[in-house]
Amino acid sequence: MALSEINENETSQGRGPEAIAPLYLRFFFRLVQAWDRARLARRVRAYPGLQIDPEASSNLAVARWELGKNARVTIEAGVVVERVSKALRIHVEDGGELRIGRDTWLRTEVEPVHLVVYPNGRLTIGREGWLNGCLVSCKKEVTTGARTWMGPGTHVYDSDQHDFDDQTPEQSAPVQMGDHIWVGARVMVLKGVSIGSHSIIGAHSLVTRDVSPHSVAYGIPAEKRGEVGDRTQASAVVKE
């Protein structure tokens, strides 16, 4: 198994490489993790605003870190990512704030995950999130609740990203997502949108207006097409 395939989320549950590898490989895996822990510790010392829980994945050491002088980043316990060099990009500019809730999976197996926070922006990823090869760009405020899942190629923007013309400056407005939301692949979520809890957004949709709780919405622009029940116990794992 390639070193880039190490996933501490699986290892911690007895399904990763350490559970099946020969003794010498187990030692090697542990040595790599110890080295990565040391690299993370040096990074934390270099950036006073960076806090990484000791129970977060050591694979964060191979992420692409771009932190402004007064950036604030908090990564809680249980946050995991694959050990693929620079597939996770964490870009937080001066005065920006990023918080990644516990037990969130920043999944980079299919596509990279980019989290970008501009000056004075605030990006909060709720607990048990699943960001699967997506981009979140925050100039003002983006918030996701507990167990929000985003599919590959999904982009979330809380801003126009640039001026429209000389008379129309760039506009920004917060993006709010509730709990237990599933956002399908290749979805675009634009500024000022609120997506209610227990909702599902279909693949390849463009979300330009609010989605009420317990809704199935899809299309360009996305519109409500049906109802969703309680997703509290919904699983992303295929059951045999």
pLDDT value at 31 more than 90: no
Confidence grade of residue 32 (pLDDT, cut at 50, 70, 90): confident
> Which of 101, 150, 98, 145 is CA-nearest to residue 119?
98
The predicted model gives 188-199 an average pLDDT of: 98
Q: Assign residue 30 a region (left: φ > 0; alpha: ψ between -120 and 50; beta: otherwise).
A: alpha
Domain membership flag for residue 236: no
pLDDT value at 15 more than 60: no
CA–CA gap between residue 168 and residue 104 (Å, rounded): 38
Instruction: Look up the CATH number of the domain holding residue 70.
Output: 2.160.10.10
Domain membership flag for residue 233: no
Catalogue the long-range contacts made by 203-212 (C-beta closer than 8 Å, 24 or more residues apart).
203/151
Contact 112, 88 (CB under 8 A): yes
Domain membership flag for residue 36: yes
pLDDT value at 156 more than 60: yes
Q: State residue 224's pLDDT score.
A: 97
> Which of 190, 192, 184 is CA-nearest to residue 216?
184
Q: State residue 239's pLDDT score.
A: 58
The answer to which of 77-91, 158-172, 212-226 has the lowest mean pLDDT is 158-172
CA–CA gap between residue 240 and residue 238 (Å, rounded): 7
The model's pTM is 0.87
Domain membership flag for residue 239: no
How much of the chain exceeds pLDDT 70, in percent?
89
**Domain around 36:** 7-227
Contact 155, 137 (CB under 8 A): yes
Position with higher pLDDT, 11 vs 208: 208
Number of folded domains that form the chain? 1
